[in-house]
Amino acid sequence: MKNVAVIGAGTMGNGIAHTFAQSGFSVNLIDISEASLKRGMATITKNLDRMIAKEKISEADKKLTLSHIKTHTSISEGAKNADLVVEAAIENLELKLNIFKELDKACSDSAILASNTSSISITQIAAATSKPERVIGMHFMNPVPIMKLVEIIRGYNTSNAVTHTIMELSKTLGKEPVEVNDYPGFVANRILMPMLNESIETLYNGVAGVEEIDTVMKLGMAHPMGPLQLADFIGLDVCLSILHVMYDGFKNPKYAPCPLLVNMVRAGKLGVKSGEGFYDYSENRKAEKVAQQFQK
């Protein structure tokens, strides 16, 4: 397995492309937008520069990694010779089904088709193809080049051979793969999202403020980041989407999203990506934080 196609040049997609390219794979990064591809490649370059600054890689390593990545705006062109395709588009079922229908036509019968979905059924995605036994979930964690975990999700029809291949491949990337079965939220988000949602409920009910809730979880539970800040970094729209998938899948009210989360997403307060969520990430606020650091 040498040729990998990654669909989606956003946060997860460019991180996945970076990781495969740094491990020596030839990568086609695919997105319908040239602007998104340019932003994705700029992010990969910036992250490689950070690694150089930390003396984890050399300038030659950076150039080699970048040389392994080519960009495309066409799935049929970018994925036609792929041994593995990793779809990392937004968490939208209709979009993913359309992508996998197109991949089914574009790719060879031997290609493995993987989705980076964080909650949507792999079995349902696989049903859009004529080769469901070759469809699997590879749920990477953000930031992909740093985080070790990959959830490997078997669909109902995923073959043992494909599962074994992807488990071993993940290890060659320096990751720790964990095999899980195909139920809403899998393991990571089935546990994480109710915690984030309960943290938002705690704020919504006036039990404590944003920083107080996060401080309790950081100092009391040894979490590296508070749940509300983590929700901001994930994206409140993404959290809401995952909770909807889990609520629809289980029909259990414990997965129903908090009204505060719903309203914040409606208002466009999505966290880091929009500049404001539970915390303020605007340029003015960043400048204020820098000034405070110099005053200390």
**Is 139 in the active site?**
yes
14, 72, 115, 151: which one is catalytic?
151
Range with the poorest average pLDDT among 5-19, 84-98, 115-129, 271-285: 271-285
**Is 18 in the active site?**
no
**Is 189 in the active site?**
yes
pTM for the full predicted model: 0.89
Section 259-272 average pLDDT: 97
Query: Residues annotated in the binding site for NAD(+), as ranges?
Result: 8-13, 31, 91, 96, 118, 142, 273
For 41, other C-beta atoms within 10 Å of its C-beta total 18
Section 141-160 average pLDDT: 97
**Is 118 in the active site?**
yes
pLDDT in tens, 23-79: 999 999 999 999 999 999 999 999 999 999 999 999 999 999 999 999 999 999 999
Sign of CA dihedral 21, 25, 26, 28: negative
CA neighbor of 9 nearest in space, from 87, 81, 61, 77: 87
Query: Residues annotated in the binding site, as ranges?
Result: 8-13, 31, 91, 96, 118, 142, 273
Section 157-176 average pLDDT: 98
Domains of the chain from N-terminus onward: 3-181 (3.40.50.720), 190-290 (1.10.1040.10)
14, 28, 36, 118: which one is catalytic?
118
The Cβ-side half-sphere exposure at 94, using a 13 Å CA radius, reads 0
